[in-house]
Amino acid sequence: GKGIGSIKWEIDKSAMTAAVGSNVKYLAALEVGTSNMAARPWLSSAVQKVRASLLKGIVFVGKALK
C-alpha cells in the first residue's frame, strides 16, 4: 500500500546511526494512536521482531572497534 511503499531508511556509517521513517502522515497516527483510534504499531513491532539481530550487530561492531 501507500504506507509500506513510503518507508525509507538512511544509514550513516561514519556516525554508526540509522534512521527509518515515512512522509505519509497517517503512519504516525497508526503507530501511536489518536484520540479517536487505538494505536496499531507497525514500526515498533517490526523492530521488536528483529531486535536480537540488531543487538548482535551492535555488539559485533562494538568489538570490532576495540
Cell of 16: 554508526
Reported as type and span, the H/E element at residue 58 is helix 51-65
Quick: pLDDT tens for 19-58. Answer: 888 888 888 888 899 999 999 988 888 888 888 887 777 7
Which residue's C-alpha cell is 505519509?
Answer: 24
Max Cα–Cα distance, the chain, nearest Å: 50
pTM of the model: 0.56
Can you tell me whether residue 64 is helix, strand or coil? helix
